[in-house]
Amino acid sequence: MNGERQDVWGMTRDLAAAAADAHSGRAAHTVHGGHEATLRQTVIALRGGAGLAEHENPGEATLLVLEGRVRLTSAAAPQELGKGELLAVPADRHALEALEDSVVLLTVAKLPA
Protein backbone atom coordinates (compact mmCIF):
# COMPACT_ATOMS: atom_id res chain seq x y z
CA MET A 1 0.00 0.00 0.00
CA ASN A 2 2.88 2.39 0.78
CA GLY A 3 0.77 5.43 1.66
CA GLU A 4 -1.55 5.00 -1.33
CA ARG A 5 -5.25 5.51 -0.66
CA GLN A 6 -7.54 2.65 -1.58
CA ASP A 7 -11.26 2.57 -2.25
CA VAL A 8 -12.35 -0.19 0.13
CA TRP A 9 -16.04 0.17 -0.80
CA GLY A 10 -15.24 -0.24 -4.49
CA MET A 11 -13.06 -3.21 -3.62
CA THR A 12 -15.95 -4.65 -1.58
CA ARG A 13 -18.24 -4.52 -4.63
CA ASP A 14 -15.60 -5.98 -6.96
CA LEU A 15 -14.67 -8.82 -4.61
CA ALA A 16 -18.33 -9.66 -3.92
CA ALA A 17 -18.89 -9.99 -7.68
CA ALA A 18 -15.75 -12.14 -8.01
CA ALA A 19 -16.85 -14.39 -5.11
CA ALA A 20 -20.29 -14.83 -6.70
CA ASP A 21 -18.59 -16.20 -9.84
CA ALA A 22 -15.81 -18.19 -8.12
CA HIS A 23 -16.06 -21.96 -7.77
CA SER A 24 -14.86 -21.61 -4.15
CA GLY A 25 -17.41 -18.89 -3.41
CA ARG A 26 -14.74 -16.54 -2.17
CA ALA A 27 -12.34 -13.83 -3.30
CA ALA A 28 -9.76 -11.81 -1.38
CA HIS A 29 -7.33 -8.95 -1.74
CA THR A 30 -4.58 -7.95 0.70
CA VAL A 31 -4.82 -4.19 1.14
CA HIS A 32 -1.86 -3.80 3.49
CA GLY A 33 1.15 -5.93 4.35
CA GLY A 34 1.63 -9.49 3.22
CA HIS A 35 2.97 -12.78 4.51
CA GLU A 36 6.36 -11.19 5.20
CA ALA A 37 4.89 -8.25 7.19
CA THR A 38 3.87 -8.21 10.85
CA LEU A 39 0.60 -6.39 10.09
CA ARG A 40 -1.66 -7.65 7.30
CA GLN A 41 -5.13 -6.47 6.30
CA THR A 42 -7.18 -8.47 3.83
CA VAL A 43 -10.65 -7.85 2.41
CA ILE A 44 -12.41 -11.21 1.95
CA ALA A 45 -15.70 -11.69 0.09
CA LEU A 46 -17.71 -14.87 0.67
CA ARG A 47 -20.78 -16.05 -1.18
CA GLY A 48 -23.56 -17.13 1.20
CA GLY A 49 -22.76 -20.63 2.47
CA ALA A 50 -19.05 -20.36 1.59
CA GLY A 51 -16.39 -20.08 4.22
CA LEU A 52 -12.87 -20.54 5.44
CA ALA A 53 -12.18 -24.00 6.90
CA GLU A 54 -10.92 -24.35 10.45
CA HIS A 55 -7.40 -22.95 10.77
CA GLU A 56 -4.86 -21.65 13.28
CA ASN A 57 -4.68 -17.99 14.24
CA PRO A 58 -1.20 -16.72 13.23
CA GLY A 59 -1.32 -13.90 15.79
CA GLU A 60 -3.67 -11.27 17.10
CA ALA A 61 -6.55 -10.70 14.70
CA THR A 62 -9.79 -8.79 14.32
CA LEU A 63 -12.68 -9.30 11.94
CA LEU A 64 -14.84 -6.37 10.77
CA VAL A 65 -17.98 -7.16 8.77
CA LEU A 66 -18.30 -4.68 5.89
CA GLU A 67 -21.34 -6.33 4.28
CA GLY A 68 -23.59 -9.26 5.14
CA ARG A 69 -23.63 -11.66 8.06
CA VAL A 70 -21.04 -14.27 9.13
CA ARG A 71 -20.53 -16.92 11.82
CA LEU A 72 -17.16 -17.45 13.48
CA THR A 73 -16.82 -20.82 15.21
CA SER A 74 -14.10 -21.79 17.67
CA ALA A 75 -13.71 -23.75 20.92
CA ALA A 76 -15.76 -20.96 22.50
CA ALA A 77 -19.41 -20.54 21.50
CA PRO A 78 -20.07 -19.63 17.83
CA GLN A 79 -20.51 -15.90 17.27
CA GLU A 80 -22.64 -14.30 14.56
CA LEU A 81 -21.68 -10.87 13.31
CA GLY A 82 -23.49 -8.43 11.03
CA LYS A 83 -22.54 -5.35 9.04
CA GLY A 84 -20.47 -2.92 11.09
CA GLU A 85 -19.64 -5.38 13.87
CA LEU A 86 -16.04 -5.99 14.96
CA LEU A 87 -14.71 -9.02 16.83
CA ALA A 88 -11.30 -9.99 18.19
CA VAL A 89 -10.64 -13.43 16.67
CA PRO A 90 -10.05 -16.11 19.33
CA ALA A 91 -6.49 -17.38 19.70
CA ASP A 92 -7.57 -21.01 19.17
CA ARG A 93 -8.48 -22.79 15.93
CA HIS A 94 -11.48 -21.24 14.23
CA ALA A 95 -13.55 -21.22 11.05
CA LEU A 96 -15.65 -18.60 9.26
CA GLU A 97 -18.92 -19.13 7.39
CA ALA A 98 -20.95 -16.58 5.43
CA LEU A 99 -24.61 -16.79 6.44
CA GLU A 100 -25.38 -14.61 3.42
CA ASP A 101 -23.24 -12.91 0.78
CA SER A 102 -20.65 -11.12 2.92
CA VAL A 103 -17.45 -9.09 2.87
CA VAL A 104 -15.12 -8.80 5.85
CA LEU A 105 -11.90 -6.99 6.68
CA LEU A 106 -9.45 -9.31 8.44
CA THR A 107 -6.60 -7.60 10.28
CA VAL A 108 -3.77 -9.80 11.58
CA ALA A 109 -0.70 -8.85 13.59
CA LYS A 110 1.54 -11.93 13.39
CA LEU A 111 3.24 -13.21 16.51
CA PRO A 112 7.05 -13.10 16.42
CA ALA A 113 8.57 -16.33 15.10
**Residue-level pLDDT at 113:** 65
**Residue-level pLDDT at 70:** 98
**Which regions in the chain score pLDDT beneath 70?**
1-2, 113
CATH architecture under which domain 8-110 falls: Sandwich (2.60)
Whether 71 and 107 have beta carbons less than 8 Å apart is answered as no
Per residue in 74-94, pLDDT (tens digit) is 887 899 999 999 999 988 889
**Residue-level pLDDT at 105:** 97
pTM value is: 0.91
CA atoms within 13 A on the CB side of 35: 0
